[in-house]
Amino acid sequence: MFESQGHPILYRQQTASALRQKALRRTTGGIMATEENTERGKSHDERPERISAPTAMRHATGQLAQMLQCEPASVSALKPTDDGWLANVEVVEIERVPDTASVMASYRVHLDEQGQLVGYERTRRYGRGQIDR
């Protein structure tokens, strides 16, 4: 216990799980699937509802950032599939000066209907200044 301006301040130790949940909330814009909100999203046939496109974009970038330990630059494509979402996410893999010399990569990210990462793969590496023909 510490004191600040005469008031006791209690610090509690956070578990690794709590810290991971905080990091996930931060990278996914505060949206996390919990048992409560996934149960609420189920329809009559017990199949959960699909998340919206903007939410899918946030989930794709947030979860990929956690896996790669770097910030995605943009989402270049997003489309619904039978079992969720498919997104193409652009990432700066190697930062260089000048900026046009940086190495970029395009990742294909697979999400389920609730926005959970199912898989990802790097499909392309290129220079930031490179234009597709």
Coil/strand/helix, residue 131: coil
Residue 10 falls within a domain, yes or no?
no
Residue 96 falls within a domain, yes or no?
yes
Residue 63 falls within a domain, yes or no?
yes
Mean per-residue pLDDT over the chain, rounded: 77
Residue 33 falls within a domain, yes or no?
yes
Residue 46 falls within a domain, yes or no?
no
**Closest Cα partner for 109 from 56, 70, 53?**
56
Look at residue 130 in the predicted model and tell me its pLDDT. Answer: 85
Number of folded domains that form the chain: 1
Distance between CA atoms of 119 and 72, rounded to whole angstroms? 16
Residue 132 falls within a domain, yes or no?
no
Query: Per-residue pLDDT tens for 71-93?
Result: 899 999 999 999 999 999 999 99
- CATH, residue 20: 3.30.505
Average pLDDT over residues 28-42: 45
Average pLDDT over residues 23-34: 47
Q: What is the CA radius of gyration of the chain?
A: 19
pTM metric for this prediction: 0.64
Q: Which long-range contacts (CB under 8 A, 24 or more apart) does 51-59 make?
A: 51/85, 51/113, 51/114, 51/115, 53/78, 53/80, 53/85, 55/31, 55/115, 56/85, 56/87, 56/111, 56/115, 57/87, 58/28, 58/29, 58/31, 59/28, 59/31, 59/111, 59/115, 59/116, 59/117
Residue 114's contacts (CB-CB under 8 Å, 6 or more residues apart) are: 33, 38, 41, 48, 51, 84
Residue 44 pLDDT class (50, 70, 90 cuts) = low
Structural domain that includes position 106: 15-39+51-127
